Amino acid sequence: MQECEREMAKKVRLEDILKILERYDVLELDGVEIRGDFDIELTRRSAIPILLNALQQALKEQVAAQGVRVMQGVVQGGAGVPVVAQPQTTAMEATTEVEAVLPAEEEKLVPVEFSAKREEWFGEIEEVTLGATRSEGGTRAKTVTIGGERALPFYNFDAPMEHPPVIAVDCFDMPIPLAKAVRVMYEDVMEDAGEWAKKNVEVFKADLVTIHLISTDPLIKDTSPREAAKTVEEVLQAVKVPIIIGGSGNPEKDPAVLEAAAEVASGERCLIASANLNMDYERIAKAAISHGHAVLSWTQLDINQQKTLNRYLLKMGVPRKSIVIDPTTAALGYGLDYAFTNIERIRISALKGDSDLAFPISCGVTNAWGAREAWMKASPIAEDSDWGPASLRGPLYEIITGLTLALAGGDLFMMMHPKAAMTVREVTRMLASADAEEGSGKGERECESGRLDFLDRRRSMRMRCQENESEESDGYLPTVATHKLRRMR
């Protein structure tokens, strides 16, 4: 201990004392006091408030202890023994002295002005207008324009998004097996394609309607092109918004069907869906040119095929303002990342100046219902976790698929569930800084304003889910686009 005392006679650091104790294998000290003057260095301002609080508490305890000792001296000394009490420093005075030595400075955030770095792009996406009013030779009450971007999606600080994404809601020319979450919305109109389309527009506020002529498939009903054309005519009379005309996905039958449909809709500037390298795209393109329609150029997740088909269509004389491309939508959990990457590459290449890809992009978001998790009641694996109610799960799959591809560059979304469609429409219009149109009271009552606001409506929706899922999920026919993909494989 003599060596320790000699060491303490000079200025040492606390770590030096610890080294001395470690040298002699001292594990703990009992009844030992270390006295001396301590110099405390504060390297961080954040430690000052902590130190002040500790010192204040220690001073309070010291003052209280000294007061007790003075009172004990008075009692023990009695009247004949004078006891002189030394002046004591109060805790408040001690705190004031500490604050005088270490003034506490108020911390303030340094104001920083943010300015987004603008990106200059050389390319511009073509504007494509669908639908034709009476003054333009058609009968539509309004037209819809997509494309025209001069920057990445929703990068309004680079260039304003003149035309926010639009939604086309599906209808079919025959009743088909649908997921229960979708079927309950359309049970009253599935027998009539015109009424089905009208409900999409009047109740669910669709920007466009897609009529799928699925009954023309030779493996289903093998409806003739003439009968299919009558269905298109019924839809045109039922609604006054632009329409998209789709076939069944049969590469042998579709050219004739779409040709007949294009003729009966002449002058209405519909979107003919679709031209593909695996079918007679020339016949479809010629029909579109002859009757004033736009063409959907559809490929399967291949940017080079997309460029090739676009060049072929342009070479045939299809105007640039009449081409919309569909690079294929893969569902959430079933390749959505591939679809996102493909669409994003196409959009960036177009903005960099690749004119072969500078066209509006259509996304078949309905493909989300091809994922079994979107429509099955529960997992077929007994050990699997609870999937949650399918009445919420399915629309969520469609919403996430749509919003993801909107961020990649989608301009037109073909969707199935009306609530999912309205949710995607509302969010994308908000991101594009566009004002959403007011919905009708009837539409709001039937579709709960079209939004999946789970914070406000979760309880009522769960009650309906329990009612809707009291039965087993029926067999679900995947979407038309998924049906097409299966044929291509």
pLDDT in the model for residue 197: 98
pLDDT in the model for residue 16: 77
pTM: 0.71
- The answer for residues whose C-beta is within 8 angstroms of residue 360's C-beta and 6 or more apart is 125, 126, 127, 128, 146, 147, 324, 325, 411, 412
CATH superfamily, region 127-488? Dihydropteroate synthase-like (3.20.20.20)
pLDDT in the model for residue 365: 97
Pairing between β-strand 412-415 and β-strand 166-172 as defined by DSSP bridges: parallel
pLDDT in the model for residue 268: 98
Location of structure tokens 């899922």? 469
Residue pair 365/329 in contact (Cβ under 8 Å)? The answer is yes
- The answer for residues whose C-beta is within 8 angstroms of residue 432's C-beta and 6 or more apart is 154, 156, 161, 164, 165
DSSP string for residues in 224-276: -HHHHHHHHHHHHHH--S-EEEE--S-TTTHHHHHHHHHHHTTTS-PEEEEE-
pLDDT in tens, the chain (489 residues): 555 555 455 677 767 777 777 787 777 777 777 777 766 665 555 555 666 676 677 777 766 666 555 445 444 444 444 444 445 555 455 445 544 555 556 788 888 888 878 889 999 999 999 999 999 999 999 999 999 999 999 999 999 999 999 999 999 999 999 999 999 999 999 999 999 999 999 999 999 999 999 999 999 999 999 999 999 999 999 999 999 999 999 999 999 999 999 999 999 999 999 999 999 999 999 999 999 999 999 999 999 999 999 999 999 999 999 999 999 999 898 999 999 999 999 999 999 999 999 999 999 999 999 999 998 888 888 888 888 888 899 999 999 999 999 999 999 999 999 999 999 999 999 999 876 444 444 444 444 444 444 334 333 434 444 444 433 344 444 444 444 433 333
Residue pair 306/325 in contact (Cβ under 8 Å)? The answer is yes
133: enclosing H helix or E strand: none
274 prior amide bond cis, ω within 30: yes
Coil, strand, or helix at residue 94?
helix
Angle ∠(266,204,411) on CA atoms, nearest 5: 60
pLDDT in the model for residue 64: 67
Output the six-digit token pair for 393: 């799960």
Output the six-digit token pair for 182: 């979708």
Greatest alpha-carbon pair distance for the chain in Å reads 129
> What distance in Å separates the CA atoms of residue 474 and residue 146, rounded to the nearest whole number?
37
DSSP string for residues in 349-406: HHHTT-GGG-S-BEE-GGGGGGSHHHH-SS-SSTTSPP---HHHHHHHHHHHHHHHHH
> What distance in Å separates the CA atoms of residue 374 and residue 397, rounded to the nearest whole number?
6
> What distance in Å separates the CA atoms of residue 447 and residue 235, rounded to the nearest whole number?
22
Coil, strand, or helix at residue 272?
strand
Q: Where are the domains of the chain?
A: 1-39, 43-62+91-102, 127-488
Residue pair 363/413 in contact (Cβ under 8 Å)? The answer is yes
**Residue among 207, 206, 410 nearest 325 (CA):** 410
pLDDT in the model for residue 49: 62
237: left (phi over 0), alpha (psi -120 to 50) or beta: alpha
Centroid of chain to Cα 328: 19
pLDDT in the model for residue 259: 97
**Residue among 406, 391, 334 nearest 368 (CA):** 334
> What distance in Å separates the CA atoms of residue 334 and residue 317, rounded to the nearest whole number?
36
Coil, strand, or helix at residue 326?
strand
- The answer for residues whose C-beta is within 8 angstroms of residue 58's C-beta and 6 or more apart is none
Q: How many CA atoms lie within 13 A of 303 on its CB side?
A: 16
> What distance in Å separates the CA atoms of residue 300 and residue 282, rounded to the nearest whole number?
18
